[in-house]
Amino acid sequence: QVQLVDSGGGLVQPGGSLRLTCVASGSIYSIYTMGWYRQAPGKQRELVAGISRAGDTNYADSVKGRFTISRDNAKNTVTLQMNSLKPEDEAVYYCKANIKTLSVRLADYWGQGTQVTVSS
């Protein structure tokens, strides 16, 4: 069993910052790509940022220069530092990780989601 737990969402004013954290636990052999996705009401889930095990990153154009993704392989965590938040960043944010389990099964796992609300 593998579990991803997202945290760090909340209410923030435009221009403010939030830091999201995702911790993976369970029967993990290795974690490959990790990333953050978001889904706003009435919209499809979209990739916000991704990071490889080696630390290579990619970002959606809409968040470049404002968001930073990082990971700690020893702690099985991925974080998303979000600065200069805009109302259009408001969404439920989900962590995703590509994980090989101890039973040598490779699959994508998702966190439960954390709400980010940007409002004055």
pLDDT for 105: 87
The 3-state secondary structure of 35-97, one letter per residue? EEEEECCCCCCEEEEEECCCCCEEECHHHCCCEEEEEECCCCEEEEEECCCCHHHCEEEEEEE
pLDDT for 92: 98
pLDDT along the chain (120 residues), means of 10: 96 98 96 98 97 97 98 97 98 97 91 97
pLDDT for 103: 87
pLDDT for 15: 98
